[in-house]
């Protein structure tokens, strides 16, 4: 492996590691919605069935994009 290939490999690894630290499973955000929906349901006296899918999908912590 030549120096340019090694630099490319290290750069890619660093980029992937950096992006990985900025990503969070979106399922961690769903808990907040579950509580909100529950409280709203109680307040309005309505029965609500709140269903979520894709909890393993990752989103940037700043919320700009989803990547899965």
Could you tell me which residue, 63 or 17, shows the higher pLDDT? 17
| Structure confidence at residue 10 (pLDDT) | 85
Residue 67 has pLDDT above 70, yes or no: no
> How far is the C-alpha of 14 from the C-alpha of 62, rounded, in Å?
20
| 59 Cβ neighbours under 8 A, 6+ residues apart | 23, 24, 26, 29, 65, 66, 67
- Strands 66-67, 23-25: parallel, antiparallel or unpaired by DSSP? unpaired
pLDDT tens profile 18-51: 766 677 777 777 777 888 888 988 998 999 888 8
Please tell me the pTM assigned to this model: 0.45
> How far is the C-alpha of 57 from the C-alpha of 24, rounded, in Å?
8
């Amino acid at each position: 492996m030549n120096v340019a290939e090694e630099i490319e490999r290290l750069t890619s690894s660093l980029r992937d590691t950096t992006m990985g630290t900025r990503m969070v499973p979106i399922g961690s955000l769903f808990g907040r919605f579950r509580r909100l929906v529950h409280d709203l349901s109680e307040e309005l006296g309505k029965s609500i069935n709140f269903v979520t899918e894709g909890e393993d999908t990752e989103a940037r912590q700043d919320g700009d994009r989803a990547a899965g």
